[in-house]
Structure 1
Amino acid sequence: DTGEFAPGRCSSWVRRACKAGNSATEPYIVAHNLLLSHATAVQLYRQKYNATQKGKIGFTLDSYWFEPYSSDIRDIDATKRSIDFHFGWFMDPATFGDYPRTMRDNVKERLPNFTIEESKMVKGSLDFVGVNYYSARYAVNVEHVDPQRLSYTNDAHRELRFEDSKGNSIGPEAGLTWLRVVPYGIRYLLNYTKDTYRNPEIFVTENGVAHDNETTPYEDIVHDQIRIDYYDSHLGNVSEAMRNYGVNVKGFFAWSFMDNFEWSSGYTKRFGLTYINYNQNLTRTPKDSTKWFTNKLLPKLRSDDIDYKLPRSLGFRNFDMSE
Structure 2
Amino acid sequence: MHKGIQPFVTLTHYDIPQELEGKNGAWLSSEAQEDFKYYADICFRFFGDRVKYWSTLNEPNVVAIRGYRTGIYPPCHCSWPFGNCSGGDSEKEPFVVAHNMILSHAAAVGIYRTKYQKKQGGRIGIVMNAMWFEPISDSWEDKLAAERAQSFYMNWFLDPIIRGKYPIEMQEILQSDLPMFSEHDLEMLKNKLDFIGINHYTSFYIKDCIFSPCEPGPGASRTEGFALRTAKKNNIFIGEPTACGWIFVYPQGMEKMVTYIKERYNNIPLFITENVYLIGFCDEENPHFTMENSIHDVKRVEYMNSYLDALATAMR
- Is 1:235 the counterpart of 2:302? The answer is no
Match of 2:257 in 1: 189
Match of 2:30 in 1: none
Measured in 2, the distance between the counterparts of 1:216 and 1:106 equals: 49
1:153–1:7 distance in 2 versus 1, CA, 3 Å: farther
Measured in 1, the distance between the counterparts of 2:287 and 2:315 equals: 35
Match of 2:184 in 1: 117
Match of 2:299 in 1: 226
- Is 1:163 the counterpart of 2:232? The answer is yes
Match among 69, 89, 93 for residue 160 of structure 2: 93
Give the alignment's TM-score, normalised by structure 1. 0.69
Q: CA deviation digits over 1:176-216, x for unaligned, max 9?
A: 11110000101111000110001011110000224334347
- Is 1:83 the counterpart of 2:150? The answer is yes
In the alignment, residue 301 of structure 2 is paired with which amino acid? I
Counterparts of residues 1-323 of structure 1 (less than 5 Å): 1-16=69-84, 18-143=85-210, 154-164=223-233, 166-208=234-276, 209-215=280-286, 217-219=288-290, 220-243=293-316
Q: CA deviation digits over 1:45-82, x for unaligned, max 9?
A: 11111111111110100021011011121111100001
Q: CA deviation digits over 1:192-251, x for unaligned, max 9?
A: 0110001011110000224334347413445321111111111111111112xxxxxxxx
1:54–1:230 distance in 2 versus 1, CA, 3 Å: same
1:180–1:216 distance in 2 versus 1, CA, 3 Å: farther
Measured in 2, the distance between the counterparts of 1:11 and 1:87 equals: 23
Match of 2:10 in 1: none
1:34–1:154 distance in 2 versus 1, CA, 3 Å: closer
User: Structure 1 residue 167: deviation in Å?
Assistant: 4.1
Q: CA deviation digits over 1:254-273, x for unaligned, max 9?
A: xxxxxxxxxxxxxxxxxxxx
In the alignment, residue 202 of structure 1 is paired with which amino acid? L
Question: How many equivalent pairs are there?
Answer: 238
Measured in 1, the distance between the counterparts of 2:253 and 2:175 equals: 30
Measured in 2, the distance between the counterparts of 1:120 and 1:145 equals: 40
In the alignment, residue 122 of structure 1 is paired with which amino acid? L
In the alignment, residue 242 of structure 1 is paired with which amino acid? M
1:213–1:169 distance in 2 versus 1, CA, 3 Å: closer
Which secondary structure state, in structure 1, belongs to the residue aligned with residue 154 of structure 2? helix
1:106–1:225 distance in 2 versus 1, CA, 3 Å: same
Measured in 2, the distance between the counterparts of 1:233 and 1:217 equals: 28
Quick check: 1:9–1:19 contact (8 Å CA) kept in 2? Answer: yes
Which secondary structure state, in structure 2, belongs to the residue aligned with residue 130 of structure 1? strand
Measured in 2, the distance between the counterparts of 1:145 and 1:163 equals: 15
Return 5+ residue gaps in structure 2 as ranges.
1-68
In the alignment, residue 131 of structure 1 is paired with which amino acid? I
Measured in 1, the distance between the counterparts of 2:140 and 2:191 equals: 33
User: Structure 1 residue 155: deviation in Å?
Assistant: 3.1
Identity percentage over the alignment? 34
Give the alignment's TM-score, normalised by structure 2. 0.71
Which secondary structure state, in structure 1, belongs to the residue aligned with residue 172 of structure 2? helix
Measured in 1, the distance between the counterparts of 2:282 and 2:131 equals: 20
Displaced runs of 4 or more, over 6 A: 150-153
Measured in 2, the distance between the counterparts of 1:151 and 1:47 equals: 43
RMSD over aligned CA atoms reads 2.1
Which has a greater percent of helix?
2
Match of 1:297 in 2: none
Measured in 1, the distance between the counterparts of 2:303 and 2:92 equals: 38
Q: CA deviation digits over 1:89-115, x for unaligned, max 9?
A: 111011100110001111111111111
Quick check: 1:137–1:160 contact (8 Å CA) kept in 2? Answer: yes
1:47–1:21 distance in 2 versus 1, CA, 3 Å: same
